[in-house]
Every structure is written in structure tokens, then in C-alpha cells.
């Protein structure tokens, strides 16, 4: 048994070491997210508000290319609602029988149309900076959702000893503090239909919630399955341990 | 077994291919030291981890596209649209970490109990071959998602080969399939990443062959002298390995389901971009000690030699440690040296994670020197001067004090009380 504890401890030390050396540095306020923890799940109302913020504020510059309209049924919208949302967009399709490209309203299987035709067009419209795609943003920065939330509320006037480059804004959480994205959110930038007050902090939380879902859409099914798997393995391992004790009781060791 | 061999179809096959008696001898009645502790679970766990990687990897390859413009998106396709694709990918990515974890523990166990000593030198060296092949496989696998850390990790590591005199540039061009890391690099890494696990399986078979000649070492480090020292592998070690597997799967499942990105780098969720270098390029955690040695040496060629040497020196371990006593239990000073060495490896890993500046440079250099000093100075000196404790007469003696009950199984009938 002592050996077992030692071996298990060694495994935990190894994995713990691996985890600690890969954990991100902090510096930004930690938020309480409903999707954190073993039982975590997405807040559907927050996801829908977050989608609204994305659609009305972010989507002007940032694409979210791994999300199709059909995926939006997962944030609690009905298929008819999503069809109506899709129909507001025009997308290019084709070629038709005459070999011509044509425009048509978007359908469920289309991805949410991108704001720019290509990276050069995006840079040309944004002072030379490239607004990154947001599909994976919540996993693509150390600190993840906490960092993104901090970034969105982190805009300030620059300190006296800092001279900003042209077109740049000061953000206390951005690496180097000079960020090409102008402050995207003001109070009441959107009007929530559920009556939630659209403060900068609220909109930031909501849109980050939405981005976390976009980056990790299988989070809920993963955690649900994980609980079942862990319970199964705990029972199995306990039975195996009991069997091992019983079999080894036949001999001195 | 005897009854089983009477079945006509079994007899027919056995006469032509004696596979049933072979299986019986290698995993059923196979004599195993009766005193193995839980540290001996990690060999079978390594085999299982390798198998899991192969199974998940083959299915992932159904859906993955090894093309520079499509690779990143195909991984996202697996994560979003393939049934249980997220499970496959997270199991495969974290499975690599689990594989290295159990192999490192297996390796440290071999060092502590002197499992590399005569007559198991070739068994040990085959293990080092497996470790080297695992490192190559893991490195190439990490390149496949074609994220920022994939791309820049590949660039840094392959660039090291340019340090070799004469053949360096030629070798690097061969690795790249061109003059920079690009689509041809991704194609060949995918091909080799798929090939090498099967080569590892081949070496594992030879590793087991060598193991079964002189059988397992044990915590006392003395040979089995008769049936009273051993137990049949089945059921004693099959059930013990099964229980160990349960514990292994609990840790593995926790990683997959609740912390799937804990051991990954956030930067690898950004598609590869040759024009933007990430601020800190770090390899996967299992390479960090070696990465620290690479950076500790202020000369490119010597750094590369030091990094490869850190693994290659394990080949010479059976001859650097000249002490005839295997187990650290009877070597008080070696025991201390072993634990200092373990601490040193962790220190190197910590240094490897941090940017090479300030105190990390000095700590990295001291830890690197100590790493090699352990093998080249401490072990040879201990072999010469260390007073060892007296060895027990047999494995059975300390276990069966005053004569215990007989083990059931084939060996029991002939066993003498000791």
C-alpha cells in the first residue's frame, strides 16, 4: 500500500509539475464563470446576449469562421429564430447553370459571413492592424476568458509618461499596453431585450461567455460524460483493488 | 491449461504453431519475483499508453488533413463536427503526456533499483531506444495541428540540426523538404508520425523478449533463486496491473474531461504564421529539462550535443555505475545521489519553462553540470568507494519469515519452506 501511495504520488507530482509549468501568469481579475468547474455549463441567456454583442459590435471587424448558423441552436435559439437571423445575411453562392456567381440569403449550413474578403482588406480598413478571428480566441490567449474580460474593461487614459502611437489605445491588460483595437464597448452600446443593464462589464462578460462557447462548444457534453466516466472508473478501480487484495491474500508477500 | 490443450482445434493449432504454450509461458505461469512493488506497474502502463495512442491516432487520421492550408481547420473540424472527435483529440493530446509520465517513472524506477545492471544491459538500452523514438514521434505529432507553437517549435528544433558540422545544412534541408518549415515538412512529419509508433511497437517486442530471458528485477535487486522466490504472473500480476490501470485511467480521464488544455500552450490555438514569432517558444513539458540543457550551453553545437547527450548518456549507464549491488536499498549514498538527481531534473524542467534571463541562466548551468556529473563523476566514484549494506540471502527469505503459506499454482508443489 505504501508503494502504491508512492507511485500514485509520483504520477501526481509529474502531472502537477507539467501543469504548473504550463499554467499562465495572472495579473487580471478572476471572474466566476458558469462554465467553470466539474459541473460547469453555459448560461444560455448570457450566450444569447453575448451573440448580440458580437453581432452588433464585434462583427464589424472580427470574423468567427468556425461558427455556422446551425450552431446557434446550441445557444438556446430555436431553429426558426436562427433561420430568421440567417436570412438577414446575403452570401455569395454558385456558380449556377450559366456559370455565374449569385447572391442569396444565408441558410443554416452557412458560416456566419466574415467582415472582410481577405486579410489585406481587413488591414486596409483597420489602420494596418489585423482583427483576429474570434472562433478560438477564448482558448488562444493565456488566461483565456479572464484575460479577454480584463482586456475589454481595461481601456484607460494613458499615463503621462506614455506617448501612444497613432491610432493606438491604452489598455492596462494588453501586452505592451498599446492596442490597435479602439475601446469597442460603451455603456448601452447594445440594448438587451431581456432588460439586463448593458454596462461595459456586463457586455464584456456576455461576449466572452459567447466566445468561450464558440471555442469549446462541446464543453457541456464533455463535462457530463466526464462525471459518468469518473464514477465508473472509481467503482471499477475499487473492485479491482478488492480483487487484488483477495487474490494476494493467498500468499505471503 | 492442460485441459485447454486437449481441445481438438487447440491441439491442431498448437501442433502447427505453439502459440498457446507460448502465451502460457509468457503471461500465465511466467515466474515473476514475488516482491515487486507498485513501481513495477509502470511498464505495463507504458504498453497500454502506447496502444491507446495508436488507436486514437489511427481514428484521428481518418479525419485529419496533412496540408499546411487545411491542417488547422481539419483539427477544428474534428473538434466540432466529427462524432466524439473532441474526445479522440483530447485523449490523443493528453495521452502523449500520460505516456511520457509513465515512461519517466518507469525509467527512474529502473535507475533506483539498478535494473540496468548485468545481465539486463540490452534490455535497458532497448528502453532508451524506445524513449528516443517516443521523443521524435511526440515532437512530430505536436507539429501536425499547425498552430503557432507547432510551427515555431518545429522551426527551433529543426534549426538545431544546422549546428552539426558538414552535414548540418544538408540534414536540415532533408528534414524540411525545402528551405524553411512549410507544407513539405508537415507532409513528411505526418508520414513519420504515423510510421514511428509501429516501429516503437517492434522495439517493445524485443524489449519484452530481453525481459523474459532474465525476468524482472525486483526491489531487492537480487536474482530469483528458485520457485520460492517467484509467483506466476497470472493471476497475481495481471490483477495488480489491472488495478494500476484503473488508477492510471482515473488520472487520464480527469485530464481529458476536466482539464484538456492544461498541458497545452494557448498559442497553438492560433494558426501557424511564419511572419509572427510568439514571444516565448516553449516545447511540450516533457522536453523542458532537455531544452534547459540546450540553452544552458552558450555554444550552438555544444548545446545541441549536450541536449542529445543528456539522453544518449543513458546508453552508457550500465557501465558508468560499476557497483555490483543493484538496488538503492542497500546503497545509502547512491540513494541520496538518486534523489538529488531527480530534484535536478525537475529544476531543469522549471528552468526550461522560464525565459533564459537573470538567475535562470546560472541555475540552468549549475543544474546542467550536475546532470552530467551525476553520470560521469558521482556514479563511477560511488561504484569504487561506497560501502554497501549486506544483501539478503534470497527474495523469499525476508518475505516468508519462518515459512509462510504456499502460493497456489504450478510452482507451489515443488516449493521448499525457507
Residue pair B256/B92 in contact (Cβ under 8 Å)? The answer is no
Confidence (pLDDT) at B279: 87
Confidence (pLDDT) at B202: 98
DSSP bridge partners of A178: A170
Q: Please give the model's pTM, rounded to 2 decimal places.
A: 0.92
Q: How far B20 CA sits from the closest chain A CA (Å)?
A: 24
Number of Cβ pairs < 8 A linking chain A and chain B: 154
Rg for chain B, CA atoms, rounded: 24
Burial class (CB in 10 A: 0-12, 13-18, 19+), B87: buried
Residue pair A37/B123 in contact (Cβ under 8 Å)? The answer is no
Sign (positive or negative) of CA dihedral B342, B346, B347, B349: positive
Band of residue A252 on the pLDDT scale cut at 50, 70, 90: confident
- Residue of A3, A8, A18 best to disrupt the B interface, most CBs of B under 10 A: A18
CA distances from A162 to A151, A174, B84, B147, B269 (A): 19, 14, 50, 34, 32
Second CATH level (architecture) for the domain A39-65+132-229: Orthogonal Bundle (1.10)
Work out the average pLDDT over B2-28. Answer: 93
The SS3 of residue B384 is helix
Interface contact A124, partner B, CB < 8 A: no
Q: How far A159 CA sits from the closest chain B CA (Å)?
A: 25
pLDDT digits (tens, 9 = 90+) for B136-155: 999 999 999 999 999 999 99
Q: Residue with C-alpha cell 531534473?
A: B345
Q: Any idea where the domains of chain A sit in the sequence?
A: 39-65+132-229
Run of H or E residues at B246? helix B233-258
Judge: A240–B235 Cβ closer than 8 Å, yes or no: no
CA distance A132 to A211: 13
Band of residue B103 on the pLDDT scale cut at 50, 70, 90: very high
DSSP B181: S
CA distances from A219 to A205, B87, B132, B211 (A): 18, 11, 35, 44
Compare CB distances from B104 to A4, A14, A19 and report the shortest one's residue: A14
Q: What DSSP string runs through A200-220?
A: HHHHHHHHHHHHHHHH-TTHH
Judge: B285–A22 Cβ closer than 8 Å, yes or no: yes
Model confidence at A11: pLDDT above 50: yes
- Please give the grid coordinates belonging to residue A66: 468556425
Q: How far B169 CA sits from the closest chain A CA (Å)?
A: 33
Confidence (pLDDT) at B417: 38
Interface contact A130, partner B, CB < 8 A: no
Domains and CATH numbers, chain B: 34-216+233-281 (1.20.810.10), 284-387 (1.10.287.980)
CA distance B109 to B115: 8
Distance, CA of B159 to chain centre: 25
Model confidence at A149: pLDDT above 70: yes
Model confidence at B133: pLDDT above 60: yes
Judge: B259–A19 Cβ closer than 8 Å, yes or no: yes
- Residue of B230, B285, B349 best to disrupt the A interface, most CBs of A under 10 A: B285
pLDDT digits (tens, 9 = 90+) for A150-168: 999 999 999 999 999 989 9
- Please give the grid coordinates belonging to residue B16: 502447427
Residues 6+ apart with CB under 8 A from B14: B5, B20, B21
Task: Indicate the average pLDDT of chain B.
Answer: 93
Compare CB distances from B247 to A18, A237, A253 and report the shortest one's residue: A237
ipTM of this complex: 0.91
Amino acid at each position: 500500500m505504501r508503494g502504491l501511495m508512492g507511485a500514485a504520488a509520483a504520477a501526481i507530482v509529474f502531472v502537477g509539475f507539467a501543469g504548473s509549468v504550463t499554467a499562465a501568469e495572472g495579473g487580471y481579475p478572476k471572474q466566476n464563470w458558469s462554465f467553470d468547474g466539474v459541473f460547469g455549463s453555459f448560461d444560455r441567456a448570457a450566450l444569447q446576449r453575448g451573440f448580440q454583442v458580437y453581432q452588433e459590435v464585434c462583427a464589424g471587424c472580427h470574423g468567427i469562421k468556425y461558427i455556422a448558423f446551425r450552431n446557434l441552436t446550441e445557444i438556446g435559439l430555436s431553429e426558426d429564430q436562427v433561420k430568421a437571423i440567417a436570412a438577414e445575411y446575403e452570401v455569395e453562392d454558385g456558380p449556377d447553370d450559366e456559370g455565374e456567381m449569385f447572391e442569396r440569403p444565408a441558410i443554416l449550413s452557412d458560416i456566419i459571413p466574415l467582415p472582410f474578403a481577405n486579410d489585406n482588406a481587413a488591414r486596409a480598413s483597420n489602420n494596418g492592424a489585423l482583427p483576429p478571428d474570434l472562433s478560438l480566441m477564448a482558448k488562444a490567449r493565456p488566461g483565456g476568458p479572464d484575460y479577454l474580460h480584463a482586456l475589454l474593461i481595461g481601456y484607460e487614459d494613458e499615463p503621462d509618461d506614455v506617448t501612444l502611437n497613432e491610432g493606438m489605445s491604452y489598455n492596462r491588460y494588453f501586452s505592451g499596453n498599446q492596442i490597435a483595437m479602439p475601446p469597442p464597448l460603451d455603456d448601452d452600446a447594445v440594448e438587451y431585450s431581456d432588460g439586463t443593464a448593458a454596462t461595459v462589464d456586463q457586455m464584456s462578460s456576455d461576449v466572452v461567455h459567447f466566445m468561450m462557447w464558440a471555442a469549446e462548444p462541446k464543453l457541456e457534453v464533455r463535462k457530463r460524460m466526464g462525471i459518468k466516466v469518473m464514477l465508473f472508473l472509481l467503482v471499477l478501480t475499487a473492485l479491482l483493488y478488492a480483487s487484488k487484495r483477495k487474490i494476494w491474500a493467498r500468499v505471503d508477500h | 491449461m492442460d485441459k485447454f490443450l486437449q481441445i481438438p482445434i487447440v491441439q491442431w493449432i498448437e501442433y502447427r504453431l505453439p502459440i498457446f504454450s507460448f502465451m502460457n509461458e509468457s503471461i500465465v505461469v511466467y515466474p515473476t519475483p514475488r516482491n515487486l512493488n507498485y513501481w513495477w506497474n509502470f511498464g505495463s502502463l507504458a504498453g497500454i499508453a502506447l496502444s491507446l495512442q495508436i488507436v486514437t491516432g489511427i481514428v484521428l487520421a481518418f479525419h485529419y488533413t496533412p496540408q499546411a492550408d487545411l491542417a488547422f481547420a481539419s483539427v477544428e473540424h474534428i473538434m466540432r463536427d466529427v462524432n466524439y472527435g473532441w474526445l479522440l483529440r483530447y485523449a490523443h493530446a493528453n495521452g502523449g503526456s500520460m505516456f511520457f509520465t509513465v515512461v519517466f517513472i518507469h525509467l527512474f524506477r529502473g535507475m533506483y533499483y539498478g535494473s540496468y545492471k548485468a545481465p539486463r544491459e540490452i534490455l535497458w538500452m532497448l528502453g532508451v531506444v524506445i524513449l528516443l523514438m517516443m521523443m521524435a514521434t511526440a515532437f512530430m505529432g505536436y507539429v501536425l495541428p499547425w498552430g503557432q507553437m507547432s510551427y515555431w517549435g518545429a522551426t527551433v528544433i529543426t534549426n538545431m540540426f544546422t549546428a552539426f558540422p558538414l552535414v548540418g545544412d544538408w540534414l536540415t534541408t532533408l528534414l524540411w523538404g525545402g528551405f524553411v518549415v512549410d507544407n513539405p515538412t508537415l507532409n513528411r512529419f505526418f508520414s513519420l508520425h504515423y510510421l514511428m509508433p509501429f516501429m516503437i511497437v517492434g522495439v517493445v517486442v524485443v524489449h519484452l523478449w530481453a525481459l523474459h530471458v532474465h525476468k524482472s528485477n525486483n526491489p531487492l535487486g537480487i536474482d530469483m533463486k528458485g520457485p520460492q522466490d517467484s509467483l506466476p504472473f497470472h493471476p497475481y500480476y495481471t490483477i495488480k496491473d489491472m488495478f494500476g490501470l484503473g488508477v492510471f485511467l482515473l488520472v487520464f480521464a480527469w485530464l481529458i474531461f476536466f482539464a484538456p488544455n492544461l498541458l497545452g500552450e494557448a498559442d497553438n490555438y492560433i494558426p501557424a504564421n511564419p511572419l509572427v514569432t510568439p514571444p516565448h517558444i516553449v516545447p511540450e513539458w516533457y522536453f523542458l529539462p532537455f531544452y534547459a540543457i540546450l540553452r544552458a550551453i552558450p555554444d550552438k553545437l555544444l548545446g545541441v550535443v549536450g541536449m542529445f547527450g543528456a539522453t544518449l548518456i543513458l546508453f552508457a549507464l550500465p557501465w558508468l555505475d560499476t557497483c555490483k549491488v543493484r538496488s538503492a536499498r542497500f546503497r545509502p549514498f547512491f540513494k541520496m545521489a538518486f534523489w538529488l538527481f531527480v530534484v535536478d531534473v525537475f529544476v531543469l524542467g522549471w528552468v526550461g519553462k522560464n525565459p533564459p534571463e537573470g538567475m535562470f541562466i546560472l541555475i540552468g548551468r549549475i543544474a546542467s553540470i550536475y546532470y552530467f556529473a551525476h553520470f560521469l563523476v558521482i556514479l563511477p566514484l560511488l561504484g569504487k568507494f561506497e560501502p554497501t549494506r549486506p544483501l539478503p540471502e534470497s527474495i523469499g527469505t525476508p518475505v516468508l519469515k519462518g515459512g509462510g503459506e504456499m502460493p497456489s499454482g504450478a510452482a507451489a508443489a515443488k516449493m521448499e519452506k525457507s
